[in-house]
Amino acid sequence: MGQATCSASFLKKHKMKPLKKISQIALIASSLLLIIAFFVPIWRIDLWAPQYPEGLSMSIWLSKLSGQVDIINGLNHYIGMSHIKEEMFPEFKILPYAVAVIIALGVLTGLSKNRKMLIGFLTILILSGVVAMYDFWSWGYEYGHNLDDSAAIKVPGMAYQPPLIGYKELLNFGAYSIPDIGGWLFVLLGIVAISTLIFEIKTNK
Amino acid sequence: MKMKYLNIAASALAIIGMNACKPSADKTSSSSFLAGDAAEKVYVKPGTHDEFYNIVSGGFNGQLSVVGLPSGRTLRIIPVFSQFAESGWGYSEETKPMLNTSHGFVPWDDSHHVALSTTKSEHDGRWAFINGNNTPRIARVSLSTFRTEEIIEIPNSGGNHSSPFITANTEYAVAGTRFSVPPDNNADVPISSFKQNFKGYISFVSIDKTTGRMGIKFQLKTPGVSFDLARAGKGKSADWFFFSTYNTEQANTLLEVNASQKDKDFILAVNWKKAEEYLAKGKGKKEAAKYAHNVYSDETHSATSTILNEVMTLDPKECPDMLYFMPCPKSPHGCDVDPTGQYIVGSGKLAAVIPVFSFDKMIKAIANKNYDGNFDGIPVLKYDAVLHGEVKKPGLGPLHTEFDGQGNAITSFFVSSELVKWNIAKLEVIDRVPTFYSVGHLSIPGGPTAKPYGKYVVAYNKITKDRYLPTGPELAQSAQLYDISGEKMKLLLDFPTVGEPHYAESIPANMIEKNTKKIFKLEENKHPYVAKGEKETKVVRKGNEVHVYMTAIRSHFSPDNIEGIKLGDVVYFHLTNLEQDWDVPHGFAIRGALNAEILVMPGETSTLKWTPTKVGVTPMYCTDFCSALHQEMQGYIRVSPAGSKVPLSWGTGKNPVAEAEKKVAKR
């Protein structure tokens, strides 16, 4: 963000040139690549415990969940956690549209050849990333802290919030939370957008 | 049955005893037949898997054992012909029909021979077949669920011993009767009329290529002899089946003496393709016969038993060129075909040689009508015309032969208690190694197929004596594992077995392991009394029958409190295991049940019938340690006197699963 505003003020002082062909192609291609995110998971949570040497895994898609959700729910009832169900994610109704808009904006930016538009697109992209991660964190907080008082196993002071990203130990389970293919495509688009902007600024001094 | 051998063995020992001081064998490490690196060769590191599945008959326990090789660890017992209280097999309402026969419910059998399904005479890892010897039956066991899926009874048979050996592509499993019998539909005849009225029936049981479904395609009404063992041809001999016979003397009493008179009995060669042709030409004759066909379904988790009333028969007298006898010395037991399909090894259990027959010579002898008369109308081929050669002085009491795929055969010798390796083409003995004691069957991985894996041979011994810690008059049965990868056979391991193993087969683990069924999908459960969730649980009264639609999930039953049961009621607990995760079975037991417990796998429904005998509150609980709260998985059934006015009611308290479900809505 800081870099984006800085670049914007920098641009005011200079005459802006249209985006180069290579930048256009990179932007449009990486935006279109995001279409894949409709068909693959965007995030995954992997669990491991002594009794589950093969591991348990849950995948989050743009509009659904998959993986061993029922088994995870079955295990979590001992500690009074809610069941994970698709109904608890109103995000699933919004996410596909949000991603479609991002793809459209990315393609439009590429077509427009306009650097201002690129700066705007990058800003939106970063903002939506931040919002999405905050939303995910707040779900995890609620899921990990809202425990049934009559749970069979109660560990004083213990909450079971899954890690936002990375690894965390929760009782006998080790939990990993990492982007899946769809998530990595987002990261890729972000990197491409930033690199394109830097490239444009550097080559058009 | 084995008294004869014991006597021979005893007298042999007596002679040694007279000529020398008391013989003492060193049974342990210093013995030359024990591999120096034996421990290393059989050690399967904790957490790693065995190399082979060894599917072993249980003999008088009527079941199948699954053993890992080379460790010799017993992994599981698959209930087949005998009730198995541990899992409820033959006790649960769903599995009772599997043990139905034309005689009614038969809760036990004697299972002898394993046949693993093959394609082109090579293992394909789909099914295991096993015979029921006493009340003639063949069972098919799935190698993905490791459960018995089908049992078919064999009519016109007494002692289904020569069974269930299979053809190259598992087209048929055979069932040769050990006792010749008069036909079931006209069986009230004098025993002494054996020669006139008794027939040696051989059944060909067809196996559906995709479902494995069995059906008796036809029965051959062969002359009254005893069929002992059998093997199908392979490759060029694949259209043929070979059966060893004894009691060609046709004695009906004191067989020990009367069936051992002749110098030679026979190996019967059956051209089963020819039999199919005759059948297609309409030569078959339907005869009345009553037999049960029992099928278990993984969808309904239930078995059905159908009684069939007729069977197709073929009379060899009307079907020339279908059967031929090959003379074989002294009551042949094993009758084994080498991997190429060229050699047929007969093991005359009272003979001093091992005759090896040549398939090519047999075909030539048939073409040239090189006969030595006939037996009850069936041509007897000349011994010398069909013989490849004899292995001289191999040992005493040859029983069975398996093949290593390197051109060698290994034969078990009951009386001289040893395994003998010999070269098939040269008929020369290469090596011999003692067994402890009195080996019966032997098994090489892939040994009966066109593609033996070699590496090991397992000896299944009939006598154990001092090999293990003694356990009173009844001892463990003993198997021994030998390394056959080198020139010399080396003993690697003794391991005790369950039941009394007869034949066994081994198959590489990687052919089976990946297909293992982990759970039954709840949404595919078509049991008529399934409850697919706690919301579907209920108790329904139909007269004095009470049906409980019950579920189990870690860690409670639903319902776990039932009232309104009355003395005189018959209660059916239809328990559905709601778990959908591997290795989370739940068990169900209730005090005073006159049958057994049930073990219910994830996604499965199983029913225990309970007839209350006392007024009062009866506890019930989960028997399979399912979770940290397993001990809490219990409940009560109230039984009131007959005619009581207590209304039928049931329920489960506020429970964590239901609560967690509700919490979803909150967010």
Closest CB to B660 among A87, A148, A153: A148
Q: Does pLDDT of B387 surpass 90? A: yes
Note whether B374 and B316 are same-domain residues: yes
Whether residue A88 and residue B654 make contact (CB cut-off 8 A), yes or no, is no
- Distance in Å, alpha carbon of B551 to nearest chain A alpha carbon: 14
Q: Quick one: closest CA in A to B667, which residue?
A: A88
Chain B residue with the nearest C-alpha to that of A146: B663
Q: Which of B515, B534, B561 is the last residue of a domain?
A: B515
Q: Is the pLDDT of residue A12 over 80?
A: no
**B237 and B210 co-located in one domain:** yes
> Which of A30-34, B181-185, B258-262, B271-275 has the lowest average pLDDT?
B258-262
Q: Do B659 and A81 touch (CB under 8 A)?
A: no
Instruction: Test A70 with B660 for CB contact under 8 angstroms.
Output: no
d(CA B370, CA B324): 11
Q: Over the stretch B36-74, which tens digit does the pLDDT of each residue have?
A: 899 999 999 999 999 999 999 999 999 999 999 999 999
Question: Which chain B residues are Cβ-neighbours of A150 within 8 angstroms?
Answer: 654, 656, 659
CA distance B620 to chain A (A): 21
Enter the pTM of the model.
0.88
Give the minimum alpha-carbon distance from B87 to chain A in angstroms, rounded to a whole number. 23
Is residue B601 domain-resident?
yes
Contact list in A for residue B666 (CB cut-off 8 A) is 82
**What strand order describes the sheet that includes B323-329?**
B226-232, B240-246, B264-271, B323-329, B378-381, B371-375
β partners of residue B267: B244, B326
Q: What is the pLDDT of residue B257?
A: 86
Instruction: Give the model's pLDDT for residue B35.
Output: 85
Give A148's contacts in chain B (Cβ within 8 Å).
656, 659-660, 663
Same structural domain, B176 and B271: yes
Report chain B residues whose CB lies below 8 A from the CB of A153.
Answer: 628
Mutation choice for A interface testing from B551, B578, B625, B659 by most A CBs within 10 A: B659
* Residue of A71, A82, A150 to mutate for B, most B C-beta atoms under 10 A: A82
Tokens of B235: 């490759």
Asked whether the beta carbons of residue A71 and residue B657 sit closer than 8 angstroms, the reply is no
Residues of chain A neighbouring B653 (CB-CB closer than 8 A): none
A68 interaction partners in chain B (CB closer than 8 Å): 581
ipTM of predicted assembly, 2 dp: 0.73
**Span B441-469, average pLDDT:** 96
Select from B519, B581, B632, B655 the residue whose CB has the most chain A CBs within 10 Å, as the one to mutate to test that interface: B581
Q: Are B507 and B618 contained in the same domain?
A: no
- One domain, residues B511 and B651: no
Contacts of A74 in chain B (CB under 8 A): 553-554, 579, 581, 657
Same domain for B572 and B427: no
Identify the residue among B583, B663, B666 best suited for mutation to test binding to A, counting A beta carbons within 10 A and taking the highest: B663
**A149 near B CB under 8 A:** no
Element (H, E) at A182: helix A181-203
Single out the residue in B515, B533, B559 at which a domain terminates: B515
Dist. CA A62–CA A91, nearest whole Å: 8
B28 lies in some domain: no
Has residue B27 been placed in a domain? Answer: no
Domain count of the fold of chain B: 2
H or E element that contains B419 = strand B418-423
Label residue A133 by pLDDT band (50, 70, 90).
Answer: very high
Q: Do A71 and B581 touch (CB under 8 A)?
A: yes
pLDDT at residue number B23: 52
Q: Are residues B226 and B85 in the same domain?
A: yes
* B336 and B470 fall within a common domain: yes
Lowest mean pLDDT among A14-18, A49-53, B166-170, B353-357: A14-18
Q: d(Cα B429, Cα B390) in Å, to the nearest integer?
A: 11
Residue B31, pLDDT > 80, answer: no
Q: Report CB contact under 8 Å: B663, A146.
A: yes
Coil, strand or helix at B156: coil
Q: Note the pLDDT of residue A3.
A: 46
Separation CA A42–CA B212 (nearest Å): 43
Residue B659 lies in a domain: yes
Enumerate the β-bridge partners of residue A44. Answer: A59, A178
* B632 and B609 inside one domain: yes
> Shortest CB distance from A73 goes to which of B660, B666, B667?
B660
What CATH code is carried by the domain that includes residue B658?
A: 2.60.40.420
Based on the fold, state whether residues B476 and B587 are members of the same structural domain.
Answer: no
Residue B624's domain spans which residues?
Answer: 522-666
**In a shared domain, residues B494 and B540:** no
Q: Nearest-CA neighbor of A153 among B621, B602, B554?
A: B554
Q: Where are the domains of chain A?
A: 2-203
β-pairing verdict for B137-142 and B148-153 = antiparallel
Q: What digits encode the pLDDT tens for the residues B434-448?
A: 999 999 999 999 999
**Partners of residue B513 in chain A, C-beta under 8 Å:** none
Q: Can you list the alpha helix ranges (DSSP code H) found in B381-459? A: 383-386
Tell whether A64 is within 8 A of chain B (Cβ). Answer: no
Q: State both tokens at B148.
A: 């018995």
Query: What is the rounded average pLDDT of the residues B468-484?
Result: 94
Give the end of a domain, one of B500, B515, B530: B515
Angle at B573 between CA B569 and CA B576, to 5 degrees: 165
CATH class of A2-203: mainly alpha
Residue B363 belongs to a domain:
yes
Do B666 and A82 count as a contact with CB atoms less than 8 A apart? yes
* Mean pLDDT, chain B, integer: 93
Residues shown for chain B: 667
Q: CA of B602, closest CA in chain A: separation in Å? A: 12
Same domain, B474 and B608: no
Flag whether pLDDT at B102 surpasses 60. yes
Residue B594 lies in a domain: yes
Task: Say whether B656 and A77 touch across the interface (CB within 8 A).
Answer: yes
CB distance A85 to A76 below 8 Å: no
pLDDT tens-digit map of A87-123: 889 999 999 999 999 999 999 999 999 999 999 999 9
A150/B659 CB distance under 8 A:
yes
Task: List the structure tokens of B472.
Answer: 């009173």
Which of B553, B656, B661 is nearest residue A152 as measured by Cβ atoms?
B656
